[in-house]
Amino acid sequence: MQTKKEYTITVYTENQVGLLNRIAIIFSRRKINIESLNTSPTEVDSVHRFTIVINEFEDVVRKLCRQIEKQVEVLKAYYNTEEEIVWQELALYKVPTDVIATEVKVERLLRQNGAHTVVIRKDYTVFAVAGHREETEALIKVLEPYGLIEFVRSARVAIIKGSSGFHERLKEFEYMEPGEEAIENEFLDKNEEIFTM
Amino acid sequence: METLTPKKETQPAPAATTITGSKAVLEAFLAEGVDTVFGYPGGAIMPIYDALYDYNEKLKHILVRHEQGAIHAAQGFARASGRTGVVFATSGPGATNLVTGLADAMIDSTPVVCITGQVFAHLLGTDAFQETDVINITTPVTKWNYQVTDATEIPHVLAKAFYIAKSGRPGPVLVDITKNAQLQLFEYSGYQKCAHIRSYRPKPIIRKEYVEEAAALINKAEKPFVIFGQGVILGKAEKEFKQFIEKAGIPAAWTIMGMSAIPTDHPLAVGMLGMHGNYGPNVLTNECDVLIAVGMRFDDRVTGRLDKYAKQAKVIHLDIDPSEIDKNVKVDVPVWGDCKETLPLLTRLVEQKVYPQWLQKFKDYQQKEEEKVIHEELNPTTEILTMGEVISSLNELTKGNAVIVTDVGQHQMVACRYAKYNQSRSNITSGGLGTMGYALPAAIGASYGAPDRTIVAIIGDGGFQMTLQELGTIMQFKPNVKLLILNNNFLGMVRQWQQLFHEKRYSFVDIQSPDFVQVAKGFGIPGKSVSKREDLATALQELLNSKGTFLLEVMVGKENNVFPMVPQGRGVAEIVLSKEEI
């Protein structure tokens, strides 16, 4: 029996108004909740990427990716399990500055959790932590007793371990396709008997 | 900088290379070979209509009576001609009235380009008069859509629109153009057709190993069965398809959308699949050893219960849309590609064969269906007429040469079960969406798409009342459409289900109709109503012989049911021939 798992979907797209909606409704139409969604530029100028996290069966994820790829402005969609990606989320924590100043323990805890200070004001201090969800979540628990004022976490950004970037793929996409008369079949002109028509 | 607040809505005479956005739209149409537009004017699309005034000789504009009529007409045009249907509508209600047709064209893969007017760009998002967020409303029901706010975008956006609508798996495209862009003058450097979009692959690359695997499976098969859909027609692959089944000797059944791709009397044609399809093809789907699906998408009305669908068979699926592979039915061999290209490759590799015993099985089931259902439907012992005998009489007169446009419901199923076809693009119906009210406007469109053919619209009394305002379009433009109303004084299909599955609790299905002949007369359309068997043939003859549009209403049995039927939630092999078997 298949179980639902966390999958990270990476979608390479053109940069176009309305595309976010076109992609989002592929999920909402099937009543699938998006856990996290990030849009970002890529190493290639003019190509954008979406990083989407969902909990689903692999079968469903595969079909979703095919539906996403079917959209005119989508270049490519990949899905990966957690083991196949390197990922991070960024979290910000706002705590009262007087607590930090007086409670030595807090400072130690923050250091242990790899937090760094973003801003210090008389009334509050903002810390940032980048890491996996469990790590950023753990720090909430730690800070709660010390008067955590505000918490926010970003969407996931992920890099596929096995990917060699999108430069090469893009060349393939930019390759001008033959006109309507020509048959678009890479095997047709290889002189193999069965494919000479 | 473009003018956002123009002084007047008519344009000054343009300089040689300076034209308005509106004119660029019409130039794009001409370059794409468009000669007929279905539309309805309104505030936000007035500049385009103003420009259209000067294109009267090159572009035929059919003024419909409702925007839904415009898009269904464009669909009918596309389905009959194989070309792209084109629609004009204004912003707000004009655009939202297109939604049903867009959804219909989307699910039935019909190439349509809709141009909607939109409020001035500077008014977007201000709840301006007749402003709606058309792009977001239509996103789920369009293959592609785009909002133009600057006239310089128009030539390449329209080139993309026509390319996307027609290429690969076709579908509807909507381009929303703000009024300022329509009015804006810009340097026009000609129109260039679009042939490539970086992120868009209309046809997947054919994989040789899958073609070989498919051929090997077919060559080993003892009971192979081909099922085909509209992909064969959309791919203009009727010839390639026929060569394939004829060489391989495999019996072939069609989905409602694939109907007419091969002649109904072809020796290998074994009938229609699906809920009200033929007995043999449904039962034997669960007996074949290799199931070859060509250009179809395993709709639930075709498969019945999925966990009881063709479990014993190896499934080969030929489709141009990779997202269709494994979507509903798990496939053993996916043959990606345009079937016009993949079928010949497959034909070369399959052995010349015949399966007389296997084919005989289909004939045996056909015989059983004949005895239990068809004979009584076509030669009823009742006094009142049946829908089947009307279609059967029609066949005798049209000889299978007419384009049959159907609406949705019992008459649709009966027409598709019994109508004869001997050429492709002869069956126009709302298959996926099941849009009542489709047939009348679609038939109008079809008459422009296939002006040399006889167009017969078969419509129920319910569906006819949904879009009968389009009789006004017929009155004004005088297309030649044969309207055949099969009136059973009920919303028959729902009534049938209420009878069979809801203990005959007839809840709001007893629809009353106006005197259709009088209604037609009001629109200047001659008509007649018959209810007696002896009048049927002459009345049909009169319908077909009339010079222009004619309306024939035939009163048929009120509580007749369509059988066979695969009841919902059952497997295809559990198809029943009568209500006693349910």
Whether a cis peptide bond, with omega within 30° of 0, leads into B564 is yes
Residue B277 and residue B252: Cα distance in Å, rounded?
13
A20-29, long-range: CB < 8 A, 24+ apart: A20/A50, A21/B136, A21/B139, A22/A71, A22/A73, A22/B139, A23/A50, A23/A52, A23/A68, A23/A71, A23/A74, A25/B139, A25/B140, A26/A64, A26/A67, A26/A68, A27/A52, A27/A54, A27/A64, A29/B140
Helix and strand element counts for chain B (H, E): 24, 20
| Residue B527 dihedral angles phi and psi, to the nearest 5° | -160, 175
What kind of fold does domain B385-557 have according to CATH?
A: Rossmann fold (3.40.50)
Give tens-digit pLDDT for B484-527: 999 999 999 999 999 999 999 999 999 999 999 999 999 999 99
Residue B560 and residue B512: Cα distance in Å, rounded?
17
Write out residues in chain B with pLDDT < 70, as ranges.
1-16
Interchain contact, B139 vs A74, CB within 8 Å: no
pLDDT at residue A185 is higher than 70: no
Give tens-digit pLDDT for A119-178: 999 999 999 999 999 999 999 998 999 999 999 999 999 999 988 888 877 877 776 554
Using a CB-CB distance cutoff of 8 angstroms, which residues of chain A are in contact with residue B344? Answer: 197
Token pair belonging to B373? 């259902």
Closest by CA position to B259, among listed B101, B138, B431, B397: B431
pLDDT at residue A180 is higher than 70: no
Q: How far is CA A162 from CA A50, A74, A79, B123, in A?
A: 18, 21, 12, 48
Confidence (pLDDT) at A1:
64
A21 interfaces chain B, CB cutoff of 8 Å? yes
| Angle between the N-to-C axes of helices B339-349 and B238-248, in degrees from 0 to 180, rounded to the nearest 10 | 20
- pTM here? 0.93
Residue B86 and residue B173: Cα distance in Å, rounded?
10
B95, B97, B98, B104 alpha-carbon torsion, rounded to 10°: 150
Confidence (pLDDT) at B280:
98
Q: Which candidate from B140, B196, B323 shows the least CB-CB separation from A29? A: B140
Closest chain A residue to the Cα of B200, Cα to Cα: A72
Residue A61 and residue A76: Cα distance in Å, rounded?
14
Interchain contact, B199 vs A13, CB within 8 Å: yes
A186 interfaces chain B, CB cutoff of 8 Å? yes
B337 interfaces chain A, CB cutoff of 8 Å? yes
Q: Domains of chain A, with CATH numbers?
A: 5-85+159-174 (3.30.70.260), 86-153 (3.30.70.1150)
Using a CB-CB distance cutoff of 8 angstroms, which residues of chain A are in contact with residue B341? Answer: 183-185
Residue B46 and residue B381: Cα distance in Å, rounded?
58
| Angle between the N-to-C axes of helices A104-112 and A133-143, in degrees from 0 to 180, rounded to the nearest 10 | 180
Give catalytic residue positions of B. 67, 129-130, 179, 493
B18-187 with B385-557: one CATH topology? Answer: yes
Residue A132 CB-half CA count within 13 A: 5
**For residues B529 and B517, is the Cβ–Cβ distance under 8 A?**
yes
B139 interfaces chain A, CB cutoff of 8 Å? yes
Residue B538 and residue B541: Cα distance in Å, rounded?
5
A171 interfaces chain B, CB cutoff of 8 Å? no
Confidence (pLDDT) at A2:
79
Class of domain B208-361: alpha beta
Closest by CA position to B165, among listed B273, B292, B33: B33
Confidence (pLDDT) at A170:
80
ipTM for the predicted complex comes to 0.91
Residue A190 and residue B467: Cα distance in Å, rounded?
55
Contacting residues for A45 by C-beta, under 8 A, at least 6 apart: none
Confidence (pLDDT) at A174:
74
Residue B273 and residue B27: Cα distance in Å, rounded?
44
Using a CB-CB distance cutoff of 8 angstroms, which residues of chain A are in contact with residue B200? Answer: 72-73
Q: Which residues of B387-399 are buried (b: 16+ CB within 10 A; e: fewer)?
A: bbbbbbbbbebbe
Domain ranges in chain B?
Answer: 18-187, 208-361, 385-557
What kind of fold does domain B18-187 have according to CATH?
A: Rossmann fold (3.40.50)
